[in-house]
Chain A
């Protein structure tokens, strides 16, 4: 089954304790992205990656890091979480093949993070 898998789904942590949210897709997609969802703000892009070893900042990258060492995985790292990073996080992927890409995103089920 084609899917994007995120872990953990729920996490409560404390300020300053480093954490990683993993994301894996099995569709051989070139493009992967992280979003955060906050009430009234829709989805805002944190970071994206157009292929292995190629990453770039989205609209709200402060306080986050990413890496793309393998095509299927795109972890989100919070080096020193703060309460304003309490949010619902989504990983998404898309085929990046030139000429065929319409921009459709496939989403994971979300990771709800609370930073105390």
Chain B
């Protein structure tokens, strides 16, 4: 079945450092790919998405590119801030078969001032 694998955390960075969180997926079809972010005490919210190969999703300085050849959707940010401290979830959603969304285990990011 479909699955999402993302790098284990926690990831600890200093402010203004470069961030990469790796995400790879397996899917039988042609899924949409997402990154969701969960700030402390809150629900998940969509950070960015991509719906087809080579699409780049971007938001709040974060970017991720849908790479079909490597089945990857790595999250990057050039300069993190303390306010980026959160848990990040990679996810996929198949367009057929029940609208199921599969989540990775989540990666906790700590950014130090």
* CB within 8 Å for A104 and B99 given contacts A40-B105, A42-B106, A43-B89: no
Q: Are the C-beta atoms of B99 and A101 separated by less than 8 Å?
A: yes
How many residues does chain A have at the interface if contact means C-beta atoms less than 8 Å apart? 28
Q: Is the CB–CB distance between B104 and A42 below 8 Å?
A: yes
> Which of B34, B43, B89, B106 lies in contact with A108, CB distance below 8 A?
B43
Determine the chain A residues whose CB is within 8 A of the CB of B4 once the complex forms: 42
Is there an interface contact between B42 and A109, defined as CB atoms closer than 8 Å? yes
Closest to A30 in B: B99
Contact size range, B = 20 to 34
Report B-chain residues with C-beta under 8 Å of the C-beta of A106: 46
Given contacts A48-B98, A56-B98, A103-B93, contact A109 B49 (CB under 8 A): no
Contacts of B94 in A (CB 8 A): 103
Residue in contact with B43 in the complex, picked from A56, A58, A110, CB distance below 8 Å: A110
Using A31-B99, A43-B89, A48-B98 as known contacts, list a sample of 5 further A-B pairs with CB atoms less than 8 Å apart, ordered by residue number in A. A42-B89, A92-B44, A102-B32, A109-B41, A109-B42
